Structure 1
Amino acid sequence: MRISNLDRESGASIEHLHVLIDGVNEDAVALARYLSHRARRVTVLDIENDEPGRVRDAWCADGGNVDFRSRTEIAEIEDARALFVSLSTSPRDLIIDHARSKSLILSNLADTILRDTLGRTVGVTGSAGKTTTTYLLTAILRNAGMDVIGSTDYRLTPSGPGKAMLEAVASRNDMSWSVLELTSHHLNYVTTGPSIGIVTNLFPDHQDWHGSFEAYRGAKQNLLRFQECGDLAVLNFDDPEVRGHFRGVGQAREIYFSPLDNITNGVVVADGYITHRSRAGYDRICGISELRMPSHHIPNALAAAAVAIELGVNRNAMRDELVSFRGLPQRCQFLGAVDGVEIYDDTIGMNPRKALKGLETFPDHSLIVVSGGAVQSVGGERRVSSALEKADLRLFCEALLRKANGIVLFDDGGDVIERTLVEIGKGMPSVIHAENFEAAVLEAARAARPDARLLISPVFYNPPGDMRCFLERLVGKSD
């Protein structure tokens, strides 16, 4: 169990505190049940007055001290000391303003796992590559015979730890490892650092949610800010934001990985191999030509390898996992063919820079691309709202003009993409408009030649599960 700022700032351990939990969903209820046996008292808050009653009827707290209140009643709760927020709780939410005015300590489910895990923890963050790095590192450590769980064992969407991982933590021992994917939404409220922190990269994302790029970066820096002496930070040397703003953030020792072979000590790609370079010389792990993963995942492989080497993992165990890994769902994954048209699912690319990384893995003039979606997500966050994100959208559109023979756009996000393409104004391929995501995919499949590649690269917001289910049904029908 690690030292937490929650304990430092409260002046007491959580056992003596009355804590609030914002929201009634699967993760929040699991957190309430978990904390009900640790905190003095737990109050679950919800927006709807009738929701707490419904949950209370189904509640089995096993003797825990839990009550349910409407979110609007928070001002009436005088003795609370901490507020545990959900992934959807914006930093600019009124409940956060109230918490700060009352000097409540802010925390969340991910912070609880970091704080209460008896074994050692690895936290993985970045604007892209978090899930893949988490999955790869978990697989490598498990293949090496280590006692490890990862947040990707339980879910890929939504990202990061939830109910299942929290419940698993209670049974862990002090020799175990837990690997957590941590988004900026998690990190905005953490008070505890992991034993090992990995930062894959940083580029503009979630500007509307955080309020600015600087605030987004600051949330990501929390991964390292609360680390202690004896901890480790693993950083992407080639990413200018990471190199410029994450070095020296915490007290941890720092090591680096470099896809461009820019360091003399660390994990690099050199002479066609993933290689550990040190004073002892070169230690080749595997050839790039042996890898089956999409090329934009190679930096994630270096990050996972850097940690594995630090932990003394057998090189064969590491190599086996790296060369067998083909990628995760919704990350440039080949799903199958429809009437001879290959379907590639990159629906995780709901950000211009993420979508660009997937797009760049394909040859020029080789694709029919489906893009678009909502400019505002269900939670109210506006997508591609800042000047930095709009600059990234222009980069995506410039690449789109190189890579695509045809483009199918949908929803208001599709309109934004078309306006950007028109502004660039050169080499415009044919553009088709569709009413929604499903219609766009069907239009693209009909317009494509039998030997074409169809890439689903939304850029804007779409419900991830809905996209995935439709694509799997589509490919399944063709089999």
Structure 2
Amino acid sequence: MRDGVSMISVCESGVAVEHLHVLIDGVNEDAIALAHYLSHHARRVTVLHPENCEPDSIQGAFDTDGRSIESRPRAEIGEIADAGVLFISLSTPPCDFVVDRARSKGLMLSNLADTILRDASGPTIGVTGSAGKTTTTFLLTAILRNSRFDVLGSTDYRLTPSGPGKAMLDAIASRNDTPWLVVELTSHHLDYLTTSPSIGIVTNLFPDHQDWHGSFEAYRSAKQNLLRFQKSGDVAVLNFDDSEVREHFRGLGRGREIYFSALGNITDGVVIADGHIALRSRGACDRLCAVSELRMPRHHIPNALAATAVAIELGVKRETLRDELVGFQGLPQRCHFLGKVNGVEIYDDTIGMNPRKALEGLETFADNSLVVVSGGALQSQGGEKRVSSPLEKADLRLFCEALLKKANVIVLFDEGGDVIEQTLAETGRELPAVSRAENFEAAVLEAVRAARTGARLLISPVFYNPPSDTRHFLADLIGKSN
């Protein structure tokens, strides 16, 4: 944290809070931590709680070092005349009445991620994209840490839910030195960003969270905040192979741009060339490691290129970089091999709760090689509708067409399973064996029963499935089998 951190007006370094009355939306763990943090700087802090929450039952969480933190119902935001800024919860959609009223009152908008980027004492690296954020953040953090950088990564504290939270905020508040921060940033974070990271990485962009943002253009605009506020000395690292990134993120920041390409389509940058991860520069090609040496799932290679581009920019030794790339095996819930049950190999891609993400995982397997479990809820616990826009539905059709090529057996569950079954039928193609199950657990058990010994079972929901429930069930299933 900077000494006497500049606090809240919008300045070149983002939204600042000193001497203002700040409002914080929500009473979850992150909101409570943010209230405590801002109470050291703001003139006054008020937490806005849901109507069904009794003030007396939550007030104890906000008592801190003699500094008063008030709480009021969310509906009373319009009655708070002297507020200057609203810190928005990650679970609050852009169309929420609290956001609308804050804007109509002229309040500035910020959030916890914006606070971390603004108040970090050292350089910051932000990672966004429709897929690959967590993998890139985790791998880059590991590369820098093993290169003796003093680094804090948002994946140090949690992989799901993604991005920075209470633990990272506490970490920067308790340190007086200057660590590097590597922070995963979703569109939910980026919607209210007023500070861009020193280095911004964009892995890709495709339709997601359409119900949340209202349109693909609004979703893209939120993502663009990663680079909008960069300064002349900052760096943007961009996926040249993704047309959305290439066309809509180029030139957003005021600093340099570095590109990576798994297709080798650039003359300068990090590429796949002649079967190697390599750096092309000034006509030369510096090979780092062979693709055949990599242990990560193949659809993670573009994420590895992004991390490599930043590592080279920061002077990481080639030997250290090569060792990290070759040793990386991927992350849990991202086409991760869990083990065997009754001789059936189980692959967990339960992070694929979007047709395009699920498609990327599916395409890493050979044709006619899989038993696939798909389905889930049409709405997340936060109320966001899944696969609701025409663009997402077009991606679902692509997933279903690939599913017909890759799977011998398909087991579907919940309402999402109904949608997938209908989309499969609409292709007009001959279907493999398709069965239905009541819920996720029953679907996995049915898939194991249907699979032959030595088969591969891929769990790829496409729709919403609670990550923690999924993880615990699969861990128990594998544990009992071994």
What is the TM-score with the length of structure 1 in the denominator? 0.97
- Structure 1 SS opposite 2:260: strand
Comparing 274-283 with 418-427, greater Cα deviation is found at: 274-283
Displacement of 1:284 in angstroms is: 1.2
Contact 1:272 1:289 in 2 (8 A): yes
TM alignment of 1:9-158, pairs within 5 A: 13-158=16-161
Q: C-alpha distance in 2, partners of 1:115/1:43? A: 21
Out of 274, 290, 293, the position equivalent to 1:290 is 293
Q: C-alpha distance in 2, partners of 1:453/1:11? A: 49
Q: C-alpha distance in 2, partners of 1:51/1:456? A: 41
Contact 1:4 1:192 in 2 (8 A): no
Alignment-mate amino acid for residue 226 of structure 2: L
Alignment-mate amino acid for residue 31 of structure 1: L
Alignment-mate amino acid for residue 23 of structure 1: G
Alignment-mate amino acid for residue 120 of structure 1: P
Matched, 1:160 2:163: yes
Go from structure 1 to structure 2 and tell me whether the alpha carbon gap of 1:432 and 1:33 turns closer, same or farther (over 3 Å shift): same
Alignment-mate amino acid for residue 415 of structure 1: D
Q: C-alpha distance in 1, partners of 2:37/2:61? A: 16
Q: C-alpha distance in 1, partners of 2:264/2:474? A: 38
Q: C-alpha distance in 1, partners of 2:273/2:317? A: 20
Alignment-mate amino acid for residue 378 of structure 1: Q
Q: C-alpha distance in 2, partners of 1:471/1:90? A: 31
Displacement of 1:7 in angstroms is: 2.8
Contact 2:341 2:448 in 1 (8 A): yes
Residue in 1 that maps onto 2:348: 345
Q: C-alpha distance in 2, partners of 1:59/1:79? A: 20
Alignment-mate amino acid for residue 144 of structure 1: S
Displacement of 1:180 in angstroms is: 0.2
Residue in 2 that maps onto 1:257: 260
Residue in 2 that maps onto 1:380: 383
Go from structure 1 to structure 2 and tell me whether the alpha carbon gap of 1:351 and 1:10 turns closer, same or farther (over 3 Å shift): closer
Displacement of 1:4 in angstroms is: 8.9
Residue in 2 that maps onto 1:236: 239
Alignment-mate amino acid for residue 125 of structure 2: V
Contact 2:15 2:110 in 1 (8 A): no
- Structure 2 SS opposite 1:14: coil
Structure 2 unaligned spans of 5+: none
TM alignment of 1:286-325, pairs within 5 A: 286-325=289-328
Alignment-mate amino acid for residue 28 of structure 2: N
Residue in 2 that maps onto 1:246: 249
Go from structure 1 to structure 2 and tell me whether the alpha carbon gap of 1:51 and 1:265 turns closer, same or farther (over 3 Å shift): farther
Contact 1:35 1:42 in 2 (8 A): yes
Displacement of 1:51 in angstroms is: 4.1
Residue in 2 that maps onto 1:362: 365
Alignment-mate amino acid for residue 7 of structure 1: V
Q: C-alpha distance in 2, partners of 1:186/1:4? A: 20
Q: C-alpha distance in 2, partners of 1:439/1:6? A: 53
- Structure 2 SS opposite 1:474: helix
Residue in 1 that maps onto 2:225: 222
For each residue in 1:58-94, what CA deviation from the matched residue of structure 2 results, as whole angstroms up to 9, or x when unmatched?
Answer: 4441122311111111111110010001111111001
Contact 1:140 1:318 in 2 (8 A): yes
Compute the RMSD of aligned alpha carbons: 1.6
For each residue in 1:255-290, what CA deviation from the matched residue of structure 2 results, as whole angstroms up to 9, or x when unmatched?
Answer: 100110000100000011110110162211111111
Q: C-alpha distance in 1, partners of 2:398/2:353? A: 15
- Structure 2 SS opposite 1:269: strand
Contact 2:20 2:84 in 1 (8 A): yes
Contact 1:344 1:454 in 2 (8 A): yes
- Structure 1 SS opposite 2:305: helix
Go from structure 1 to structure 2 and tell me whether the alpha carbon gap of 1:5 and 1:400 turns closer, same or farther (over 3 Å shift): farther
Displacement of 1:158 in angstroms is: 0.5
Out of 386, 403, 415, the position equivalent to 1:400 is 403
Contact 1:6 1:107 in 2 (8 A): no
Comparing 46-55 with 452-461, greater Cα deviation is found at: 46-55
Alignment-mate amino acid for residue 214 of structure 2: G
Comparing 389-398 with 40-49, greater Cα deviation is found at: 40-49
Contact 1:119 1:173 in 2 (8 A): no
Contact 1:10 1:105 in 2 (8 A): no
Contact 2:8 2:85 in 1 (8 A): no
Residue in 2 that maps onto 1:466: 469
For each residue in 1:21-53, what CA deviation from the matched residue of structure 2 results, as whole angstroms up to 9, or x when unmatched?
Answer: 000000100010111101111101111353432
Contact 1:3 1:115 in 2 (8 A): no
Go from structure 1 to structure 2 and tell me whether the alpha carbon gap of 1:455 and 1:15 turns closer, same or farther (over 3 Å shift): same
Contact 1:408 1:434 in 2 (8 A): yes
Q: C-alpha distance in 2, partners of 1:9/1:68? A: 31
Residue in 1 that maps onto 2:200: 197
Q: C-alpha distance in 2, partners of 1:5/1:281? A: 48
Contact 2:7 2:15 in 1 (8 A): no
Contact 1:147 1:176 in 2 (8 A): yes
Matched, 1:423 2:423: no
Q: C-alpha distance in 1, partners of 2:410/2:433? A: 6
Q: C-alpha distance in 2, partners of 1:374/1:442? A: 19
Contact 1:9 1:105 in 2 (8 A): no
- Structure 2 SS opposite 1:63: coil
Residue in 2 that maps onto 1:274: 277
Contact 1:24 1:52 in 2 (8 A): no
- Structure 2 SS opposite 1:15: coil
- Structure 1 SS opposite 2:258: strand
Residue in 2 that maps onto 1:435: 438
Contact 1:208 1:381 in 2 (8 A): yes
Alignment-mate amino acid for residue 18 of structure 1: H
Displacement of 1:235 in angstroms is: 0.2
Q: C-alpha distance in 2, partners of 1:166/1:27? A: 9
- Structure 2 SS opposite 1:337: strand
